Amino acid sequence: MRPTETALQLTIFIEECDTWQHKPLFTEIVHRAHAFGLAGATVLRGVEGFGASSVMHGFRLLSIKQDLPLAIVIVDEEERVRRFLPTLRELIDEGLVIVQNVEVMRCEDQGPAQSREHA
């Protein structure tokens, strides 16, 4: 087993139709995380969900506007994540941001020789 290290995970719950200055909010968050130098960010699209408003959001076959729930996941060192939080406060009017301690095990490409040794 590879050694683990501790980090912080941000999970940001917003809606697909949320915008920042006429651009998708999720795009702005990911681009700012990248410019900030964070380790990575992933946007996950939910099939259906609801939040504090109790309004159901989900895929509707006959709807032109899709308002699916999104989760943006960012993991990095605690200090770096905490320095990024004010950026989120600036961008997000409605949504939920979860900050939690996590253990990270890095699984990096070991090359063909070492990848065969896991028997």
Q: pLDDT tens, 98-110?
A: 999 999 988 877 6
Please state the pTM of the whole predicted model. 0.80
Alpha-carbon distances of 103 from 3, 34, 60, 77, rounded to whole Å: 10, 22, 37, 11
Q: Which letter does DSSP use for residue 65 in this model?
A: S
Distance CA 38, CA 45 (A): 21
Q: pLDDT tens, 57-93?
A: 666 655 555 678 899 999 999 999 999 999 999 999 8
Residues ≥6 apart with Cβ < 8 Å to 20: 28, 91
| DSSP state letters, 79-95 | HHHHHHHHHHHHH-SS-
